[in-house]
């Protein structure tokens, strides 16, 4: 989702950049307005997760030689807006009884994958249907394209290095690598981006139907959040039932975020669909420890509104 999680500074506001085609208005694609997720008593919990992810990334990507590679990699990694999927990965791990440290490499890898996707999507080209991003482009498009390519395998390397024979987690790490590559590749986020360009931002289409927006959001934000939640449960030692419950929860929440970002919260048909997805997401949390669910997820999937 898009996709900036500003809890990292203790601010419970989720700003989500919109990606409409400015040259061809679509009646379902609205101009950007910041999307706010209101957090109640658990905002410090989400802030602590994001602080730990950021610290893990800074340790993994220091500015070092060769500077021509690591300076732009560091810049692009931390210039990409925060996304809720990495934090969801850690929360899912803790929900099933795992320690936070087990999920931090996967959460960091998810952020790196998203940062690479964001970098490629917002290359500083002179001719593009994408609106200009708010990040500062201090490198040329050729460098950003190449470094975006480098960030993705680095994310997988970071995750692979978390394999610890002493913890007997090799099978879980391998499974998570497969989950992330599938969700961020041609079956997930890349497909979602392609579908958006071809269906919702093509000059051959006058508008996008809400079901097309739902499908797009399922493949981009839905796939990323479903993967994140499932990976957290896998690394936390969850059962297969718990893993699939978290996967579905992440899918529903990701779809909600993606659709509200693209359509807006006042669309009548969307309100009905969002309510259905919220109910489905809530149902997936049944059977987990109620105290943990209340502490971790009490506000994550609700209270979506425009600021």
Residue 66, preceding peptide bond in cis (omega within 30° of 0): yes
Q: Please tell me the distance from the alpha carbon of residue 298 to that of residue 283, in angstroms, as a whole number.
A: 13
pLDDT, residue 13, reads 32
pLDDT in tens, 18-62: 344 434 344 444 433 333 333 344 678 889 999 999 999 999 999
Which positions ≥6 away from 16 have C-beta within 8 Å? 1, 2, 3, 4, 34, 35, 257, 261
Q: Each residue's pLDDT tens digit in the chain (307 positions)?
A: 333 333 333 333 333 333 444 343 444 444 333 333 333 446 788 899 999 999 999 999 999 899 988 898 998 999 888 889 999 999 999 999 999 999 999 999 999 999 988 888 777 664 444 455 666 777 888 888 888 889 999 999 999 999 988 888 899 999 999 999 999 887 778 777 777 777 766 544 445 677 788 888 888 899 999 999 999 999 999 999 999 999 999 999 999 988 887 777 677 788 888 899 999 999 999 999 888 888 777 656 544 433 2
Q: What are the phi and psi torsion angles at 32 (to 5°)?
A: -65, 130
pLDDT, residue 209, reads 78
pLDDT in tens, 53-102: 999 999 999 998 999 888 989 989 998 888 899 999 999 999 999 999 99
Q: What are the phi and psi torsion angles at 35 (to 5°)?
A: -100, 130
Nearest to 134 by CA among 72, 75, 79: 79
pLDDT, residue 299, reads 59
Give the 3-state secondary structure of the chain. Answer: CCCEEHHHHCCCCEECCCCCCCCCCECCECCCCCEEECCCCCHHHHHHHHHHHHHHHHHHCCCCCCHHHHHHHHHHHHHCCCCHHHHHHHHHHHHCCCCHHHHHHHHHHHHHHHHHHHHHHCCCCCCCCCCCCCCCCCCCHHHHHHHHHHHHHHHHHHHHCCCCHHHCCHHHHHHHHHHHHHHHCCCCHHHHHHHHHHHHCCCCCCCCCHHHHHHHHHHHHHHHHHHHHHHHHHHCCCCHHHHHHHHHHHHHHHHHHHHHHHHCCCCHHHHHHHHHHHHHHHHHCCCCCHHHHHHHHCCCCCCEEEC
In the numeric block, which tokens belong to residue 224? 């990323």
Kindly state the greatest CA–CA separation across the chain. Answer: 57
Chain length of the chain: 307
Classify residue 224 as exposed, middle or buried by CB count within 10 Å of its CB (0-12, 13-18, 19+). buried
Q: Please tell me the distance from the alpha carbon of residue 7 to that of residue 258, in angstroms, as a whole number.
A: 19
pLDDT in tens, 41-51: 467 888 999 99
């Amino acid at each position: 989702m898009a996709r900036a999680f500003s809890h990292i500074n203790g601010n419970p506001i989720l700003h989500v950049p919109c990606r409409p085609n400015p040259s061809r208005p679509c009646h379902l694609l609205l101009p950007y307005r910041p999307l706010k997720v209101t957090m109640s008593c658990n905002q410090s919990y989400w802030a602590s997760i994001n602080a730990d992810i950021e610290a893990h990334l800074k340790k993994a990507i220091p500015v070092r030689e060769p500077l021509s590679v690591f300076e732009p990699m560091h810049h692009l990694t931390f210039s990409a807006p925060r996304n809720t999927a990495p934090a969801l990965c850690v929360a899912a791990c803790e929900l099933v009884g795992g320690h936070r440290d087990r999920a931090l490499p996967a959460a960091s890898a998810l952020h790196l994958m998203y940062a690479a996707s964001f970098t490629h999507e917002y290359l500083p080209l002179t001719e593009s249907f994408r609106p200009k991003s708010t990040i500062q482009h201090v490198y040329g498009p050729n460098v950003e394209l190449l470094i975006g390519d480098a960030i993705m395998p680095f994310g997988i390397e970071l995750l692979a290095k978390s394999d610890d024979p002493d913890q007997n987690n090799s099978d879980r790490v391998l499974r998570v690598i497969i989950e992330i590559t599938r969700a961020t590749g041609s079956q997930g986020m890349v497909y979602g981006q392609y579908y958006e360009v071809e269906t919702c931002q093509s000059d051959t289409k006058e508008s996008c139907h809400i079901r097309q927006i739902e499908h797009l959001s399922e493949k981009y934000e839905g796939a990323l959040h479903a993967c994140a939640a499932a990976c957290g449960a896998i690394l936390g030692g969850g059962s297969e039932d718990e893993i699939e419950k978290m996967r579905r929860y992440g899918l529903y929440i990701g779809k909600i975020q993606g659709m509200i970002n693209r359509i807006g919260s006042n669309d009548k048909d969307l309100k009905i669909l969002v309510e259905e997805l919220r109910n489905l997401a809530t149902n997936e949390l049944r059977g987990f420890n109620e105290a943990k669910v209340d502490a971790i997820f009490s506000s994550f999937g609700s209270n979506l509104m425009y600021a």
